[in-house]
Amino acid sequence: MKQACVFLLLAVVAGPLSAAEGMWTLDNLPRAALKERYDFTPDAQWVDHVMKASVRLASGCSGSFVSANGLVLTNAHCVLDCVQALSGPQSDYVNRGFIAHRREAERQCPSEELNQLEAISDVTERVRKATAGLSGQAFIDARNAETARIESECVGAAAATRRCDVVELYGGGLYHLYRYRRYADVRLVFAPEYRIGFFGGDPDNFNFPRYNLDMGLLRVYEDGKPATTPQFFPIRREGAAVGELVMVTGHPGNTKRQLTVAQLERLRDADLIDLLAYYSERRALLWQYGRQSAEAARQAQSDLTYTENSLKVIRGQLDALLEPALLAHKRMEEERLRQIAGALQPDPWAAIAQAQQVYRTLRRPYTLLENRRGFYSEHFRIARHLVRAAEERTKPNHERLPEYQDAALPRLQQTLLSPEPIYPAYEKTKLAWSLTKLREQLGVDDPLVKLVLGNESPEVLAAKLVDGTRLSDPAERRRLWEGGFEAISASTDPFIQLARAIDAPSRELRKRYESEVEAVENKQAATIARVRFAHDGMQVYPDATFTLRLSYGEVRGWQEDGRTIPPFTTFAGLFQRATGTDPFALPESWLKAQTRLDGQTPFNFVTTNDIIGGNSGSPIIDRAGRIVGLAFDGNIHSLGGSFWYDEARNRCVGVHSAAMIEALDKVYGAKALLRELVVQP
């Protein structure tokens, strides 16, 4: 008991936050810390400007406007899906890169959408009133219905250009309404060759020193013309000095810093270990599929990159949770909150722990069926949405599953009707493999497995489904989308039939997950959040929710095993690291430009900003709102950032502003783009 008391004392003394920690909502910036540490006091105009100059890519990244004509800066890896969709065996933009020297050459991304945050408002009271006294499924239903109503009212008749999301903050402690300007016509302007955009490939991913031109440019259009975007960031070519305040505005996807110890243990022992095995297997599947031919490799490239990236994230999170110090720290913080809370009935930590036990029994069928892990197939993804949307759209908006409510339909329709090609052999491979996972995890004798497989093997069934479907044809998808419930009921497409067959059991699993796990976690997390607000005030930030956040920090290296890692790399370092063999081979354009480039140009750099996946493409700005870099990664220690922030080692990795300008100029000859960007010394 002595040991525990010492810990507890430290906890109360130490206070809740590290310096530079936090992904802050724009309506609750860490003003005191910014003032004290950097003598910086952002005014309302500054905040409004950075909010409107920052954008979200609906596919999962961040970006920013860099001209008044809708030009958007983001990462190469954030536009890779678009580049791949526009490519074919004869036009391999993935490996050759893409640049539009004239506006007419800009090509529409088949399934991208950009969101620009316009306003935030607090709707906590409305949601709290609607859910008062409820629990389980009733709580979930009431919450979903009320958020649907709020979102509908907000969107009104402007669905094509407006998006409204009710965002749950602090695990349900607050509900905020985020209103966005929605841009659905997004065109590709520039993407470098894969070799330089992702130089070092998976081996260098989440590592530093680093040498990536991980930048891409998009442009948003309105009525067929470049949109007018007066709020944008100029670029400060010289970048930021070591120790200078820099801020990142972007959309961190997901952190788990407020989870209870029981939730973290469940995550470690149940989820992450399974995910590690799942993604490891999937990685070799895609790798070996790609070895057949250059075309096969191109087909699998985006999935493989995603898979390898996920694998590093999972491994990093698992390592963090296996680190005894992390859970000790979490236990300490939990004990602190328990002390503050006193006796609560029911005990929120105990209730959440109990829900984790329920989760463990539901987890496998839930992820396989409802999260489609047993059906790794683009056709099935489409079929699931068509089948569900057809049923959900017969209901009043507020009774639908959230992803089929009016606010979400424009983007859903866009992705479902995208002309992006689907490759049959690739689909068969992925689907056959994932069906073996379904059988393995649920067991041969599981009724759902029997329902899906019947007497077929995974391979034979996958081949029959892919050969028999017409869903590869966007016109057929449009027919089913527009035909609604009737068209779906009449369809004999094997994927539609499969999606229909497992829809009821899959919904049932979701219902159980939501009512027995999520509803409990949500209600109890809100209670814990209120305990925290009452004691710590608003000097806490919510877990990431893929909504706009600001983090502050500075350019700074770190210590690794006694060595000092300097904060900058240079072009000279790039040419030194290049071996001529992938993933360390340079594209021809760079080899040709080598003599023209200044080797001392800073290329990549690290900062102490607290970021996480979803922040990819975020601008790194100075206090004057000028871009000094482009966030594209974190170092390996940033992966523990899901659970805590470690200022000593957690680093954000960015492309330096000078490198972007120098490359556009000397490698790509992008004269028109350079004229459009506002570049300051």
Name the site residues for a second copy (rule: CB under 8 A): 1, 200, 202-204, 207, 269, 273, 276-278, 280-285, 287-289, 291-292, 315, 318, 322, 429, 433, 436, 439-440, 443-444, 455-457, 459-460, 579-584
Residues 585-610 as b/e (b if ≥16 CB within 10 A, e otherwise) read bbbebbeebbeebeeebbbbbbbbbb
| Residue 91 CB, nearest approach to a second copy (Å) | 25
Q: Quick one: 183 or 206, whose CB is closer to a second copy?
A: 206
Shortest Å, Cβ 282 to a second copy: 7
- Please state, as a whole number, how many other Cβ atoms lie within 10 Å of the Cβ of residue 290: 19
Q: Which is nearer to a second copy, 410 or 573 (CB)?
A: 573
- H or E element: which one contains 663? none
Nearer CB in complex with a second copy: 283/530: 283
- What value, to the nearest 5°, has the Cα angle with vertex 191 and ends 618 and 213? 60
The C-alpha atoms of residue 404 and residue 400 are separated, in whole angstroms, by 6
The CA distance from 8 to 197, in Å, is 47
The least distance separating a second copy from the CB of residue 297, rounded to whole angstroms, comes to 11
Q: Looking at beta carbons only, is 277 or 538 nearer to a second copy? A: 277
Q: How far is the CB of 283 from a second copy (least distance, A)?
A: 6
Smaller CB distance to a second copy: residue 4 or 160?
4
Pick 135 or 288: Cβ nearer a second copy: 288
Q: How far is the CB of 364 from a second copy (least distance, A)?
A: 13
DSSP string over 313-348: HHHHHHHHHHSHHHHHHHHHHHHHHHHHH-S-SS-H
For residue 183, the number of C-alpha atoms closer than 13 Å in the C-beta half-sphere is 28
Name residues whose C-beta falls within 8 Å of residue 173's C-beta, 6 or more positions apart in sequence.
Answer: 525, 526, 528, 529, 530, 532, 533, 542
Shortest spacing between CB 441 and a second copy, in angstroms: 10
Of 46 and 423, nearer to a second copy (C-beta) is 423
Note whether 131 and 137 are within 8 A (CB): no
Nearer to a second copy, 246 or 574 (CB): 574
Smallest distance, a second copy to C-beta of residue 534, A: 33
> CB-wise, 201 or 484, nearer to a second copy?
201
Angle, CA 369 vertex, CA 367 and CA 373 arms, to 5°: 55
Q: How far is the CB of 232 from a second copy (least distance, A)?
A: 37
Beta bridge partners of 445: none
Residue 586 is which amino acid?
L
Question: Helix %, strand %, coil % for the chain, to 5?
Answer: 50, 15, 30
Spatial distance between the Cα atoms of 272 and 642, rounded to a whole number of angstroms:
13
Tally Cβ neighbours within 10 Å of residue 10: 12
- Can you state the angle between helices 273-290 and 294-322, rounded to 10 degrees? 160
Q: CB of 321: closest distance to a second copy in angstroms?
A: 10
Question: Which is nearer to a second copy, 18 or 310 (by Cβ)?
Answer: 310
Q: How far apart are CA 307 and CA 287, in angstroms?
A: 10
Min separation Cβ 68 and a second copy, Å: 42
